[in-house]
């Protein structure tokens, strides 16, 4: 039986001739439940960004190419050379010394490489490199992830959009005893109500018009592993009842079937909406809320851990430079703007801002004008914005978030108030 590894790979074939071998490698990896992206492109700086470089190219030629590309620094790349046939592997030690990464021989060493790669991804995901940040909040978060990962309890992740809930879910799975099994994600907000149940539980042939053959759902795909239910607050009430049943009885029914399917899946749910508030509004089942909220983790917004902005920005800039193949630095003005901004879209917004700035930048240093428009606007209106923000925050506190009163006092329409709350990333506090 094929092993199952929780890993994804980007394979690069340097020439058309290498593609055949790359296709075989990809098929083997996919049999081991790995996600594989296959690219064909001539050797270049982008080779550094891939996990495996498939190449029949001779070691000498590879060496010369690396010299030309300036890739001689040991350890710079994280790529691998997969070669064929096996006995030639030794020649590629030269490529290894030139910093391309490990060299493995096809097909003999593929399985152990795959295992190592998935473990490395697992421990990275559970450790510092996937959940970056040196703030106290992030250190505590990483410790909590490690502790919770060891048990099988259901986890409820909450936090604003882009704070890293999916990263944390991956980190928990990767550090858990289930790490060798699949991790399946489903975004409950992206599915129409009618499809949620068939996606989750699967269906039998003839269960509904168009069900020409039976289909397994996400619970079956995640069997033995972890199922990540993103945006659980958007799940329709009828599907919520069925999730509750799985948690309580470890069983579910495919649509159109009366035969119960046993389920051995760890659930991790995430929400950016306060579920207790949704329960009060009758939009979320209270009993399911309690069942999910066994091990809650609240992710801090980027504003609350502003000391991590510099470190995250540097890391995202390194990644962008690698992608575009040019070294860049952050200029002082741009760095200051990043520190001052209020980041309503959190880490995702920061990552995107750096990526855009790197593309925009025509010099060696990223300036204010390379940043996305919302950051430039914020930087130019910083004094007014900060005054407005502090006035708004104190009024909200003084009136205990009585929005009508705040709008009246500021002579704003309610719509304007809501726009400002969104702009400043101010959320109604949980009671
Ligand atoms: N601590 C972190 N270190 C490094 N990257 C992070 C961190 N937190 C988030 N990111 C990055 O930010 C982006 C958004 O993260 P993620 O999708 O996990 O957020 P989310 O909270 O699940 O968002 P949403 O609620 O919108 O689904 C991703 O590119 C992720 O890699």
Q: Residue 25 maps to which CATH number?
A: 3.40.50
Q: Which mutation among 155, 162, 233, 307 tests ligand 1's pocket best, with the greatest number of atoms within 8 A of CB?
A: 162
The answer to whether residues 165 and 226 belong to one domain is yes
- Give yes or no for residue 273 CB within 6 A of ligand 1: no
The answer to whether residues 170 and 291 belong to one domain is yes
Does residue 112 form part of some domain? yes
- Give yes or no for residue 348 CB within 6 A of ligand 1: yes
The alpha carbon dihedral of 341, 344, 345, 346 has a sign of positive
- Give yes or no for residue 137 CB within 6 A of ligand 1: no
Q: Which mutation among 348, 352, 355, 427 tests ligand 1's pocket best, with the greatest number of atoms within 8 A of CB?
A: 348
What pLDDT score was predicted for residue 13? 79
Kindly report the number of other CB atoms within 10 A of residue 96's CB atom: 17
Distance CA 62, CA 74 (A): 15
Ligand 1 atom with the shortest distance to the CA of 132: 3
Ligand 1 atom with the shortest distance to the CA of 308: 1
Q: What residue owns the CA closest to ligand 1's atom 16?
A: 164
First vs last C-alpha separation in the chain: 52
Residue where a domain stops, chosen among 93, 118, 143: 118
ipTM: 0.98
Distance CA 13, CA 80 (A): 11
The answer to whether residues 100 and 156 belong to one domain is no
Of residues 260, 248, 316, the one with CA closest to residue 285: 248
Ligand 1 centroid–CA 101 distance in Å is 27
Ligand 1 atom with the shortest distance to the CA of 169: 18
Residue where a domain stops, chosen among 275, 298, 321: 298
Strand partners, 184: 227
The answer to whether residues 160 and 290 belong to one domain is yes
The answer to whether residues 164 and 222 belong to one domain is yes
Which phi and psi angles does 248 have, rounded to 5°? Answer: -80, -40
Of residues 234, 233, 198, the one with CA closest to residue 218: 198
The answer to whether residues 292 and 148 belong to one domain is yes
Residue where a domain stops, chosen among 94, 118, 142: 118
- Give yes or no for residue 165 CB within 6 A of ligand 1: yes
The answer to whether residues 266 and 392 belong to one domain is no
Distance CA 266, CA 268 (A): 7
Does residue 2 form part of some domain? no
Q: What residue owns the CA closest to ligand 1's atom 29?
A: 348
Q: Which of left, alpha, beta for 33 (phi over 0: left; psi -120 to 50: alpha)? A: left
The answer to whether residues 51 and 88 belong to one domain is yes
What pLDDT score was predicted for residue 293? 94
What's the token pair of residue 310? Answer: 């510099």
What pLDDT score was predicted for residue 32? 73
- Give yes or no for residue 131 CB within 6 A of ligand 1: yes
Residue 334: which domain range?
304-380
The answer to whether residues 392 and 329 belong to one domain is no
**Helix, strand and coil percent figures for the chain, each rounded to 5:** 50, 15, 35
What pLDDT score was predicted for residue 403? 92
Q: How many domains does the chain have?
A: 4
Give me the CATH number covering residue 373: 1.10.8.60
Question: What is the chain's pLDDT, residue by residue, as a tens digit (431 residues)?
Answer: 345 565 667 777 777 777 888 888 888 887 776 767 777 777 665 555 566 777 776 666 666 666 666 554 333 334 555 665 454 555 555 555 444 555 667 777 777 777 766 655 544 444 334 788 888 999 899 989 988 998 889 999 999 999 999 999 999 998 898 988 888 998 988 777 778 888 899 988 877 877 788 888 899 999 999 999 999 999 999 889 999 999 999 999 998 888 999 999 999 999 999 999 999 999 999 999 999 999 999 999 999 998 899 999 998 999 899 888 889 999 988 998 998 898 999 999 999 999 999 999 999 999 999 999 989 888 777 767 777 888 888 899 889 899 999 999 998 888 889 888 877 777 776 55
Does residue 431 form part of some domain? no
The answer to whether residues 253 and 293 belong to one domain is yes
The answer to whether residues 21 and 114 belong to one domain is yes
The verdict on pTM exceeding 0.80 is no
What pLDDT score was predicted for residue 47? 54
Does residue 430 form part of some domain? no
Which phi and psi angles does 106 have, rounded to 5°? Answer: -90, 140
Ligand 1 centroid–CA 374 distance in Å is 20
The answer to whether residues 216 and 236 belong to one domain is yes
Q: What residue owns the CA closest to ligand 1's atom 28?
A: 348
- Give yes or no for residue 352 CB within 6 A of ligand 1: no
Distance CA 153, CA 168 (A): 15
Q: Which mutation among 170, 347, 349 tests ligand 1's pocket best, with the greatest number of atoms within 8 A of CB?
A: 347
Distance CA 40, CA 12 (A): 6
Distance CA 414, CA 417 (A): 5
Cβ contacts of 340 within 8 Å, gap of 6 or more: 378, 379, 382
Give me the CATH number covering residue 151: 3.40.50.300
- Give yes or no for residue 271 CB within 6 A of ligand 1: no
What's the token pair of residue 45? Answer: 């700086």
Q: Which of left, alpha, beta for 159 (phi over 0: left; psi -120 to 50: alpha)? A: left
């Amino acid at each position: 039986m094929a092993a199952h590894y929780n890993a994804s790979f980007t394979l690069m074939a340097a020439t058309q001739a290498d593609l055949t071998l790359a296709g075989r490698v990809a098929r083997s990896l996919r049999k081991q439940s790995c996600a594989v992206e296959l690219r064909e492109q001539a050797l270049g700086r982008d080779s550094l960004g891939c996990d495996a470089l498939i190449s029949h190219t001779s070691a000498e030629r590879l060496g010369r190419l690396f010299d030309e590309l300036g890739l001689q620094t040991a350890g710079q790349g994280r790529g691998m050379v997969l070669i064929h046939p096996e006995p030639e592997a030794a020649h590629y030690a030269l490529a290894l010394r030139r910093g391309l990464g490990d060299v493995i021989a096809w097909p003999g060493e593929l399985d152990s490489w795959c295992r190592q790669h998935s473990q490395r991804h697992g421990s990275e995901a559970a450790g510092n490199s996937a959940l970056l940040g040196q703030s106290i909040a992030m250190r505590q978060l990483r410790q909590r992830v490690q502790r919770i990962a060891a048990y099988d309890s259901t986890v409820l992740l909450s936090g604003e959009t882009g704070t890293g809930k999916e990263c944390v879910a991956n980190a928990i799975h990767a550090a858990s005893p289930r790490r060798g099994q699949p991790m399946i994600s489903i975004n409950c907000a992206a599915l129409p109500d009618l499809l949620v149940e068939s996606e989750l539980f699967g269906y039998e042939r003839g269960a509904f018009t168009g069900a020409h053959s039976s289909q397994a759902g996400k619970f079956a795909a995640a069997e033995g592993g972890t199922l990540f239910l993103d945006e659980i607050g958007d799940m329709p009430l009828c599907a919520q009842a069925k999730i509750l049943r799985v948690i309580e009885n470890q069983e579910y029914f495919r649509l159109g079937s009366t035969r119960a399917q046993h389920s051995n899946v760890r659930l991790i749910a995430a929400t950016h909406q306060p579920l207790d508030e949704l329960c009060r509004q009758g939009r979320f089942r209270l009993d399911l809320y309690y069942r999910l909220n066994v091990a809650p983790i609240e992710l801090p917004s980027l504003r609350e851990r502003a000391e991590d902005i510099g470190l995250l920005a540097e890391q995202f800039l390194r990644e962008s430079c690698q992608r575009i193949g040019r070294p860049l630095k952050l200029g002082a003005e741009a760095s200051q703007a990043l520190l001052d901004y209020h980041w309503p879209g959190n880490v995702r917004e920061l990552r995107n801002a750096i990526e855009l700035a790197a593309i925009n930048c025509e010099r060696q240093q990223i300036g204010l004008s390379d940043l996305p428009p919302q950051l430039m606007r914020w930087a130019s209106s910083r004094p007014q914005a900060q005054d407005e923000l502090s006035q708004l925050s104190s009024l909200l506190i003084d009136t205990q978030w009585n929005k009508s009163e705040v709008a009246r006092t500021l002579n704003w329409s309610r719509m304007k108030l809501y726009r400002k709350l969104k702009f400043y990333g101010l959320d109604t506090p949980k009671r």
